[in-house]
Structure 1
Amino acid sequence: MTLQRPLLTRTGRKQRALGVQAALEWAFRVEKAQLELPSPKDVSDEGFGFGLEYVLLQRAALGCKVDGGQHKMGGYTHPDAEVIAATVAGMPDSLGGIRMAIRVAELARAGLTPDWLPGVVPRCVPVETKRNQHGERATTVVVGTERVLTRGKWYTVEVQACPVTWRPHPEQIASARRGYDDWWQALDWVRDGLVSAGLLREVEVTAAMPKVRPWC
């Protein structure tokens, strides 16, 4: 995690400037923040329909201090990390909802970026190979027969072919890159949410983002 020069808020408090990916990794990997997902809509409970993000916003409006540390046994979770986790938990359905929120948190906790299969190029390869004393050879199948004339005689011979495929398949590469793009869109939404909410006290989320399409 690369930290920039601390900034000062209007109250004189120093802030650490982090890109959204670095901020997520700090919250989930360093501070061990937990993802508080909203209750299912069919569950009737206190606070029904409100996620942690709503609670945090209401506390801020009332001037209350955001509690921290409830998720770490004998430790302390920074309030800014709780706000970041709460924002992720509010991921809209249009960006993948709960499933994407979990994915964003898990990747941040592991310090990883989605695998978009860098440098991978589809190759045409045999569907199956076999090995014998002469080495490895492609498996062939009979696809038909032909009549051939050899030395004045007609013979029936089998026509064999080697089934091939593309590995990895182009759709696998396209799917991996769509997954990266979905993750990027989710991070962009989280960044905008954190900046517009203005609830972070010691972390400033900057405009820095991962590359939009690193394969281009």
Structure 2
Amino acid sequence: MIALREPLRPMGRDRRAIGVWPLIVWAFKREAAQLDFDDDRAELSQGFGYASATAIIAQHEMLGCRIDGGGRSDPHPDADIVASALAVLPEGCGGRRMAITMVEHARADTMPGWHVATSIQPVRWDRNPHGRYAMTADAVADGVAVPAMVSGWRGRLQRQEGRYCPVVVMGGPSEVAARRRDYLRWWSALLDVRTSLQLGNDLSAWVVTDDMPPMQPWERG
């Protein structure tokens, strides 16, 4: 996972430029914004899944409540807007599950890991007084070897047992592909949030730039 440096709370009237992911990290890690899944927002959603954050917050004010701030001082209003944008992620971008994933990474100041280390591990382990050891199996009984007949006691032929250690490859191609698909889904959802915030242009302290994390970081040299 990749750690990020969070921006400070903006001061003054001038809006500062910021990428969408550092903005989300700021909203959920520094400002402690909370997701508030309100089913009524579906009626406000349109286009890329954007529901005007101004309309959402106005709706909360009419009801006499605010987006939950986690039992501490209220988050910056812009943090509430970011939370609102994530809460209405369309199902095509992962919906609520993806929103929760994004918040978890934002609070941990990380991005989804796409790299998988490849290793070979024994299928079965056992222990003795000296510690753990890899278990072996009969290659002939498992059908992975042809039995060898050798001369035994008094010249009688007997089958020679062949032992081998069954192994499993961890981090193989299928796992690598799955990790990369998960990263691309996260990146696509992030693009949707960026588009929503740019279309709404509701933030008072920030201007969301086009900056995005690498789309396919595994292709970098």
Q: Same fold per TM (> 0.5)? A: yes
The interval holding the TM-score normalised by the smaller chain is 0.7 to 0.9
Q: In structure 2, do the counterparts of structure 1 residues 68 and 201 end up closer, same or farther at CA, with 3 Å as the change threshold?
A: farther
Deviates more, 1:128-137 or 1:85-94: 128-137
Aligned-residue offset at 1:54: 3.8
Q: Which has the higher strand share?
A: 1
Q: In structure 2, do the counterparts of structure 1 residues 208 and 68 end up closer, same or farther at CA, with 3 Å as the change threshold?
A: farther
Aligned-residue offset at 1:69: 6.3
Please say if 1:155 is aligned against 2:155.
Answer: no
Please say if 1:124 is aligned against 2:120.
Answer: yes
Structure scoring higher RCO (CA < 8 A, sep ≥ 6) equals 2
The within-5 A match list for 1:31-42 is 31-39=31-39
The DSSP-based 3-state class of the residue aligned with 1:91 is coil
Aligned-residue offset at 1:31: 1.4
Aligned-residue offset at 1:167: 1.8
CA root-mean-square deviation: 3.4
Q: In structure 2, do the counterparts of structure 1 residues 48 and 176 end up closer, same or farther at CA, with 3 Å as the change threshold?
A: closer
Q: Distance in 1 between matches of 2:171 and 2:191?
A: 29
Please say if 1:94 is aligned against 2:92.
Answer: yes
Alignment counterpart, residue 105 of structure 1, candidates 94, 103, 123: 103
Identity of aligned residues (%): 35
- Read off the aligned partner of 2:83 and give its amino acid letter: A
Gaps of 5+ in 2: 141-146
Q: Size of the alignment, in residue pairs?
A: 197
Please say if 1:191 is aligned against 2:189.
Answer: no
Aligned-residue offset at 1:136: 6.7
Aligned-residue offset at 1:159: 2.9
Aligned-residue offset at 1:210: 1.1
Corresponding residue of 1:212: 215
Gaps of 5+ in 1: 7-11, 40-46
TM-score with structure 2 setting the length: 0.73
